[in-house]
Amino acid sequence: MKLFYRTFGEGPALIIVHGLYGSSDNWITIGKALSDRFEVFLIDQRNHGRSPHSQQHDYPSMKEDLREFMDDCAIESAVLLGHSMGGKTIMYFAADYPERVNGLIVVDMSPRSYRDNLDSTPRSVDHATILKAMLSLEPEKYTERSEIDRAFARNIPVPRVRQFLLKNLRRNKDHTFSWKLNVPVIYNNLDRILEGMDAWRFENGNGITGFPVLFIKGEKSDYIRKTDEPIIYTIFPYAEIFSIPNAGHWIHAEQPERLLQKVEKFILEV
């Protein structure tokens, strides 16, 4: 699949991969800030942003999309930064193509399954609720964004979350709206998006050690928990886990300066 991407700067390659409901737009500020040292590539994953839609949406597919992107852009190896679903994508990529990774930065995502862990049930319910609300909205019936916002508020009452999701709206030539996000496919593949890596593959000294690895968690987020450390260290034995104060899951929006400081310090050591 030929992914849409943006690029800034010159130097060694740094690829940033967004999370669920996101796009390359969300990372432009961070990408530009890092472009004085790197050639930064911001990609839209399949079924998101301006990239093509597909009936498949799982990590094996997204991992291969990333490999194809790197091949097409003649990127032999790169530092990879991924947030949430994008973090899982780059972990899967690193497991199968470690020789193409110079450094791995995973932002607020664990390798574990968020589907099978009972403690994660509220998180999966949140996603199902969000996607059902997006499916039922029928944005093509509206001509004003404010009308969509009011209608969406009935199911998504938190303004910050609602505004983030509404960034996925596209205005059509007839002045109506549609979703850029492939909502039906995302909804039908939610179980696959929530699945985790097979830690048993990396037991008995088979963990990935060929490049530095950094996990960044939001202090107020529950996506990376203390109980996740065993699976993180099984797969990435020498990983560093760092917490950003006063940040939830969307660290790049809530604490961009602190995130940038940590990322810059890490990649300068790569």
pLDDT of residue 116: 59
128 shares its domain with 217: no
Domain boundary among 174, 191, 208: 191
User: What does the block give as tokens for 186?
Assistant: 């995302």
Listed residues 143, 172, 191: the one ending a domain: 191
Global pTM exceeds 0.75: yes
Residues 200 and 251 in one domain: yes
Q: Same domain for 28 and 158?
A: no
**pLDDT above 50 (res 132):** yes
Amino acid at 109: M
Same domain, 150 and 225: no
The fraction of the chain above a pLDDT of 70, given in percent, is: 96
Asked if the model's pLDDT at residue 123 lies above 80, the reply is no
Q: How many domains does the chain have?
A: 2
Q: What is the CATH number of the domain that holds 14?
A: 3.40.50.1820
Say yes or no: 138 and 216 in one domain: no
Q: Are 235 and 91 in contact (CB under 8 A)?
A: yes
Q: How many CA atoms lie within 13 A of 188 on its CB side?
A: 9
147, 225: one domain: no
* Structural domain harbouring 218: 5-112+196-268
Q: Is the pLDDT of residue 122 over 90?
A: no
pLDDT > 90 fraction of the chain, expressed in percent and rounded: 84
Q: Residues 196-219: what's their mean pLDDT?
A: 95
C-alpha dihedral, 150 to 152 to 156 to 159, nearest 10°: -50
pLDDT on residue 160: 85
Mean pLDDT of 42-69: 98
Mean pLDDT to the nearest integer, 186-199:
95
